[in-house]
Structure 1
Amino acid sequence: MNGGYVLSGKEYGIEQESVDVSLEELYQKYRKYSFAIAYRMLGTVTDAEDVVQDCFVELEHKPLNDIQNPKAYVAKMTMNRCLNLLNSARKQRETYVGQWLPEPLGESADLPADWLERKDMISYAFLVLLEQLKPIERAVFVLREAFQYDYKDIAELLGKSESNCRQLFSRSRRILSSGESAPEAPISPNINNSSRVKLLERFTTAFLAYDVTAMLELLAEQPVFVSDGGGNVHTVMRPMVVRKGVLALLTSRRVLTVLRERDVVHTVINGEVQLAFLKDGEVRETLCLRLAPNGEHIQNFYLMVNPDKLRHIHIRTEEVSVKE
């Protein structure tokens, strides 16, 4: 498929074959596939892990020889659980304290090493964007773009007609393509892009120094700042969407001051170089930045301070502090 929203999951597409294997072999072969679907659908590592576990627990009670297409079967089980979780999560998030953001996933997360590969990552900004979609829209979009399913397979997997799936996909693309905040692509083509690293260093220097002039030069025309504390940690409760307000927030001596007391490091989060704030070697906050299309300004700030969503971010020993 062409277009700017391919989510780097082509290798996981449906294979029309029957496989006579043991449950352990199925688990080893398709667990990464199941997790890749679940994380793109749910935006949380813990829930995605639970979905994978539930799927293979169910398979323990199934006659495996009756399964004609194991990969398609795993996909359907995974997606059904994700849709159920998303439908219930929408109600739960109505009572969520503050803003809800997806759980960031570090390159060195404490997951099996082969569950996610860098080329299969979805950028944090794009994961945030997917939250605009209804569960069924997200399902169609993820299956079509991430896993290259044709509409016939999507229809069978979701219990919809092909025409309905086409309409859902078209609507999803319109939603994701609208507005100033839409990312151009799901992930940066080069996570170690030197210009991005230099911009992060400039931001860190300006932030730590409360440098209004330098910070203003880094902001896009319509920057957005969102923070998620989950009610566990005090943080900015509402999105800041005005340039003047974002500037004041980032240079205030009364807000976000704890971040300046941390060790600041560059680390890879969802496939891109981002910022992590450490205390005694442990990640206490992450700040994911999405750059404007010109690569010279910062469009979106996603600050994660909820400790429940930072359990899968760990810093390798070779990652060094950038704090001056």
Structure 2
Amino acid sequence: MEEFERLRPLLLGLAYRLLGSMWDAEDVVQEAYLRWTGTDRSQVREPRAFLVTVVSRLALDQLRSARVTREAYTGPWLPEPVAADAVGPADSAELRDTLSYATLHLMERLSPPERAVFVLREAFDLPYDEIAQIVGSPAGTCRQLHRRAAHRLAEQRDGRFTPSADEHRALLARFLAAARGGDLSALTDLLSEDVVAYNDGGGKVRAALRPITGRADVVAFVAGLTTRYPITEAYLTEANGEPAIWTVIGGQRQLVAFDVRAGRIHAIYGVLNPDKLTRLSPGGVNRSTSSGSQ
């Protein structure tokens, strides 16, 4: 079992990138473990390739069924935020980008085969011949799926500028200060014209049931929220390897991630569903960057 445990972080990272849910990723990896224990390993030449194939196929099946469930979800469905070290090393730009919260959200718009091919090619650099065996499509089809997925994501991320961690964190600190201080002018300056705010309460807590689009409406939403409900905690933290904000507002815990491009916020992802916040808690928050509490 040592071989499997050595590969477990990589397998979790793969399953999570495919599913956007750590709960589902853990289920998939556990099922892969059970299959591994029942396999004659003398017949397995490459344990890593074997397990990547098993996990990818299980995740692909899970993703197909999950799409139906997510369509019936109460309000917008957002990925479950995680700590970066929970899903294995991210020692390449591709691994970091496919872990990014904004990228995970954009990948929800891909078909399951497109997402599988994109992740396997971009994040794990598998050759198309191997990807073809995993997804059950010819290598030429996999190339087309990857090209289509990359094009669709590039369209959504057109003009994307990836800030440094310090720049990202500074922008979020300004956003938090403007929101808490009711500085609508400063808040407006931080948002792109076509900004979208998503709120995932899963039907379990109060949350907007539809995305809020456009700078004016998002500013009004944030201002109304902070005016109506007290913010009792607000800290800068990290989720999915990028700066984020942890808040308790109106008694509800919330992790807020952002899509930042060219110095402006293009998307705000508010995760309020308590089931998706069990892996991120104030104990893991960097309180040294706190803006204080009211």
Aligned to 1:138: 115
Aligned to 2:193: 221
Instruction: Give the 3-state SS of the residue equivalent to 2:194 in structure 1.
Output: strand
Aligned to 1:85: 62
Distance apart, 1:43 and its partner CA? 0.4
Matches within 5 A, 1:44-55: 44-55=21-32
1:286 equivalent to 2:255? Answer yes
Instruction: Give the 3-state SS of the residue equivalent to 1:290 in structure 2.
Output: strand
Matches within 5 A, 1:1-324: 24-107=1-84, 111=86, 115-117=87-89, 119=91, 120-121=95-96, 122-179=99-156, 181=157, 184=160, 188=162, 190-191=164-165, 193=166, 195-252=167-224, 257-258=228-229, 260-278=230-248, 284-292=253-261, 294-295=262-263, 297-314=264-281, 315-316=283-284, 319-320=287-288, 321-323=290-292
Point out where structure 1 has 5 or more consecutive residues left out of the alignment: 1-23
- Sort the Cα spacing of 1:47 and 1:283 in 2 relative to 1 into closer, same or farther, 3 A: farther
2:80/2:276 contact within 8 Å kept: yes
Distance apart, 1:90 and its partner CA? 1.1
Distance apart, 1:318 and its partner CA? 5.2
Distance 1:317 1:207 in 2: 20
Distance 1:117 1:69 in 2: 20
Number of aligned positions between the proteins: 285
Q: C-alpha deviations, 1:267-312, integer Å up to 9, x for none?
A: 1111111100148xx99211111112x22x2111000000000111
Distance apart, 1:178 and its partner CA? 1.4
- Sort the Cα spacing of 1:312 and 1:257 in 2 relative to 1 into closer, same or farther, 3 A: farther
- Sort the Cα spacing of 1:220 and 1:189 in 2 relative to 1 into closer, same or farther, 3 A: closer
Distance 2:199 2:159 in 1: 19
Instruction: Give the 3-state SS of the residue equivalent to 1:178 in structure 2.
Output: helix
- Give the TM-score normalised by structure 1: 0.82
Distance 2:101 2:205 in 1: 21
Distance 1:173 1:165 in 2: 12
2:163/2:260 contact within 8 Å kept: no
Point out where structure 2 has 5 or more consecutive residues left out of the alignment: none
| Aligned-partner residue type, residue 79 of structure 2 | P
Calculate percent identity across the aligned residue pairs. Answer: 33
Distance 2:189 2:228 in 1: 21
Distance apart, 1:94 and its partner CA? 2.1
1:226/1:303 contact within 8 Å kept: yes
Instruction: Give the 3-state SS of the residue equivalent to 2:59 in structure 1.
Output: helix
Write 1 or 2 for the structure with the bigger share of helix.
2
1:288/1:302 contact within 8 Å kept: yes
- Sort the Cα spacing of 1:167 and 1:271 in 2 relative to 1 into closer, same or farther, 3 A: same
- Give the TM-score normalised by structure 2: 0.90
Q: C-alpha deviations, 1:133-187, integer Å up to 9, x for none?
A: 00011010011110111111111222211111111111111211114x55837xx
| Aligned-partner residue type, residue 79 of structure 1 | S
- Sort the Cα spacing of 1:144 and 1:317 in 2 relative to 1 into closer, same or farther, 3 A: closer
- Sort the Cα spacing of 1:247 and 1:160 in 2 relative to 1 into closer, same or farther, 3 A: same
- 28-37 vs 298-307, which moves further: 28-37
Distance apart, 1:263 and its partner CA? 1.0
- Sort the Cα spacing of 1:171 and 1:317 in 2 relative to 1 into closer, same or farther, 3 A: closer
Distance apart, 1:74 and its partner CA? 0.3
